[in-house]
Amino acid sequence: MDPSLFLPTASIDEAADFFIKKIQEVNPKIPTHLIERAFRYSWEAHQNQIRKSGEPFLAHPVAVALILAEQRLDAITISAGLLHDVLEDTPVTREEIQEKFGEEIAVLVDGVTKIKSFQMKSHQERQAETYRKMLLSMAKDLRVIIIKFADRLHNLRTLKYLDPERIKAIAAETLDIYAPLAHRLGMARIKWELEDLAFKHLDWEQYREIVMKVVASRSERETIIDGFVFPLRERLEEEHIETTIVGRPKHFYSIYRKMQERNKPFEEIYDLLAIRVIVGSIRDCYHVLGIIHSIWTPIQDRFKDYISTPKSNGYQSLHTTVFGEKGTIVEMQIRTWEMNQIAEDGIAAHWLYKSGGKEMSKDDHALVWLKNLIDWQKDLTDSTEFFEFFKIDLFHAEIFVFTPKGDLISLPKGATILDFAFAVHTDLGLHCIGAKVDGKIEPINKELKSGQSVEILRLNSKKPSIDWLREVKTPKARSAIRHWLKTTGRQESIDLGKKIVQASYRRLHATTSFSDHIPGLLQHLGINNADRMYELVGSGELAINKVMDFFQVFKIKKSVPSNMVSRIVDTFTGRHRPGILVGGNEDIMVRFAKCCNPIPGDAIIGFVTRGRGISVHRTDCVNVALFTGDMERTIEVAWENSEQKKYIVTLEITGSDRTGLLQEISRVFSEFKVNIIEGVIKTRGQQARCTFNIEIAHRNQLKPIFRSIQRVKGIENVSRVKEYISEDRKEAGL
Ligand code: MN
């Protein structure tokens, strides 16, 4: 773009003429009336504003509009691109935009304005919130995210004028959020450019090294590619198939990432070359595949048919890897023009092939994914929980597994048998008890691998439970389980909860009837009806101890059935664990539950396990809610008054990395005379994550330690990690 256009001396008419000509060069067929109006409006609104680079501000929205035009987007999107910063940076209001340009453009401009980076406590939360905002804006109109990508792209291209810290933050956010989302929406071209630009700003040395090596090996690569392209072109001409054959565009960040993942040097990563063959029809794709296999020998398991089974972001192509002369290897990607457009532009291609349709087409995979995600997030009220699942969908590689009929099902890496069952059919998921994986019977939480054949075993009387939520990776399965628990599961939870509450009450040996206490109990718990209370208890959302705490006010005498204690003592004599009293008796084997790792001061409860003594949990542990259904086996336990015994607690501390951080944290521990058993620090970019195993005698010690650590410069978060098994417990065989 000619910068003189934006000099204050250029008139608005000259500038508008010049800009419209540029747009028409990119897309001659586009109607320009609306675009010109938006240009003139943006010109007036941003008058006198200057970018950090010294250019007039208007250069930015104009560049964004041109990026959108290059992607063949419609006049509405391009106009919204011109206006995308007026709400944030000028006095213009949403109402004014709506009045002058209509509701559609107002929704787009408003949506783009609302996606901002958030100043939150932790990096995680920030990411989670940014994603959620993006998703909500996209739900209104998908083009919001396309404009946002163009905005980010231009900002990255002109980043050098900002201060270095800001540059790094923007580049990191691009790799964390924007690039994976672009990938998931199938927008490969945008994704590549975003990644390469961010990579360049984050790690200039590495970036430069890879660029130099790609350039240096160019002629060698071209010779190899020509060795495949010439014979192929000849054969295709004989067969009268019209094709375009191109070498794969280079993408520096993906080379870098492969080097990291495989821990191999550039030379071993960059040996696999790719050739793209683009033809007119799907029939031609398979025809070309046949021709390729008749000229060269294919590598057996490298053939992939993404035409019959598209990737979940909508990508379609045939991939085959063949041997050439002198041991050269090349990957051929065969696809139609439409597939190529979708492979490069993803959902943005939607506006090219389906004229201006906002509605989602049934066969567009990326759109179906997005629509499902919007549905699912309604069920996930906690934004970090939502983000966990979103991330799995975004970042994890895909695996492909077979149904008994030979159909392929695609799942995120790490998906379990239960995920597979729900992916096939919700009803199958709800009654799943396991599966035959390649003929071998496996439990529902077994992780699946690509290429396996899975036959689900179902039992009609089987029902989902709340702990199933821990066994699934896909939002679809999770959402279906949640839904069942809320509806069908509700009555069952009420019945179960009722039994648990009444049995617990009976154990108090109270003289009054339980129903007399219900109004007071509900008020105490802040719940407005008894069924709801039973349901919460039965579904494990409300710990039974929280309910029973109410009765402590009445000082109802609690007791442990003495016959049970003696039974346990009989079974486990001689195993002494100091620190815990079971029904006043300390000579009983106990072990600390791994799931919640209680320490003195925590409210605790015991559970008689089958053959392994008493396991001690924190009363707020989710698992307590699960086993309190079995009243016979819960037992009261208490901490022995002893300061001698030390307990190991794992702390996780996150913050921004700097030199001396570790020392300062360690100093806090020594100030409190706390032993550090182990300390690990992991850094990713600016972010540091430290894990410490420390020895303490009582829970009361933790609070002041937390407070002091939080005062260390750069620390964002300190938390206690529940799952930890200390070495001494393992030794004791507990
Ligand atoms: Mn902008």
Question: Looking at the predicted structure, is the pLDDT value of residue 619 above 90?
Answer: no
- Alpha helices, DSSP H, located in 508-621: 514-525, 530-538, 544-552, 562-571
- Is the pLDDT score of 295 beyond 80? yes
- Tens of pLDDT, residues 252-273: 898 888 888 888 888 877 666 8
Same domain, 143 and 173: yes
pLDDT value, residue 296: 92
Asked if 113 contacts 80 with a C-beta cutoff of 8 angstroms, the reply is no
| DSSP-based helix, strand, coil % in the chain, nearest 5 | 55, 15, 30
Q: What is the pLDDT of residues 297-330, one digit of tens each?
A: 888 777 888 898 888 777 899 999 998 887 788 8
454 and 518 housed in the same domain = no
Q: How far is the CA of 50 from the centre of ligand 1 (A)?
A: 13
At residue 387 the predicted structure's pLDDT band, cuts being 50, 70 and 90, is low
Q: Are strands 273-279 and 329-336 parallel, antiparallel or unpaired?
A: parallel
What are residue 449's phi and psi, to 5 degrees? Answer: -125, 155
Catalytic site residue from 89, 305, 492, 664: 89
Closest CA to 486 of 507, 503, 468, 466: 466
Read off the pLDDT band of 731 (50, 70, 90).
Answer: very low
Q: Where are the alpha helices (DSSP H) in 116-178?
A: 123-140, 143-157, 164-173
Residues in CB range of 715: below 8 A, 6 or more apart: 653, 654, 655, 665, 709
φ/ψ of 507, rounded to 5, equals -65, -15
For ligand 1, the distance from its centroid to the CA atom of residue 398, given in whole angstroms, is 33
**pLDDT band with cut points at 50, 70 and 90 for residue 569:** very low
61 CA distance to ligand 1 middle (Å): 6
Region of 74 (left: φ > 0; alpha: ψ -120 to 50; beta: rest) is beta
Task: For residue 471, indicate whether it is catalytic.
Answer: no
Is the same domain home to 64 and 199? yes
Report the CATH number at residue 436. 3.10.20.30
Residue 31 neighbours by CB distance under 10 Å: 9
**91-105, 487-501, 592-606, 607-621: least confidently modelled range:** 607-621
Q: Looking at the domain assignment, is residue 493 inside a domain?
A: yes
Torsion angle (degrees, nearest 10) of CA 105, 106, 111, 114: 140
Nearest to 66 by CA among 54, 84, 50, 90: 84
Q: What confidence category does residue 528 fall into, taking pLDDT thresholds of 50, 70 and 90? A: confident
Look at residues 575, 610, 639 and tell me which one is the last residue of a structural domain: 639
Lowest mean pLDDT, pick from 102-116, 332-346, 353-367, 417-431:
353-367
Q: What is the pLDDT of residue 353?
A: 44
| Alpha carbons 597 and 457: distance in angstroms, whole number | 35
CB 448 within 8 A of CB 416: yes
Phi-psi region of 451 (alpha: psi -120 to 50; beta: other; left: phi over 0): left
Distance of CA 384 from the midpoint of ligand 1 (Å)? 27
**231, 299: one domain:** yes
Spatial contact of 373 and 423, defined as CB atoms under 8 Å apart: no
Residues 6+ apart with CB under 8 A from 139: 374
Can you name the residues that pair with 318 across neighbouring β-strands?
305, 334
Same domain, 623 and 698: no
Examine the residue annotation and report whether 89 is marked as an active-site residue of this protein.
yes
Count of other CB atoms within 10 angstroms of residue 504:
19
Last residue of a domain, one of 182, 206, 230: 206
Percent of the chain residues past pLDDT 90, beyond the cut: 21
Q: What is the pLDDT of residue 381?
A: 55
| pTM of the predicted protein model | 0.57
Distance 110 CA to ligand 1 centre (A): 12
CA 84 to centroid of ligand 1, rounded, Å:
6
What's the CATH code of the domain at 50? 1.10.3210.10
148 CA distance to ligand 1 centroid (A)? 8
CB atoms within 10 A of CB 606: 24
What's the gap in Å between 117 CA and the centre of ligand 1?
13
- Pairing relationship of beta strands 590-592 and 273-279 according to DSSP bridges: unpaired
What's the CA gap between 556 and 569, in Å, rounded? 26
What is the 175 CA–ligand 1 centroid distance (Å)? 18
Residue 185 domain-assigned?
yes
- Cα–Cα distance between 236 and 433 in angstroms, integer? 52
Q: What's the confidence (pLDDT) of residue 567?
A: 41
> Based on the domain organization, do 539 and 633 belong to the same domain?
yes
Ligand 1 centroid, distance to 116 Cα (angstroms): 11
143 and 25 within one domain:
yes
Q: Where residue 97 falls among pLDDT bands split at 50, 70, 90?
A: very high
Catalytic one among 14, 17, 70, 88?
88
Q: What's the number of domains the chain is made of?
A: 5
Q: Tell whether 232 and 292 lie within a shared domain.
A: yes
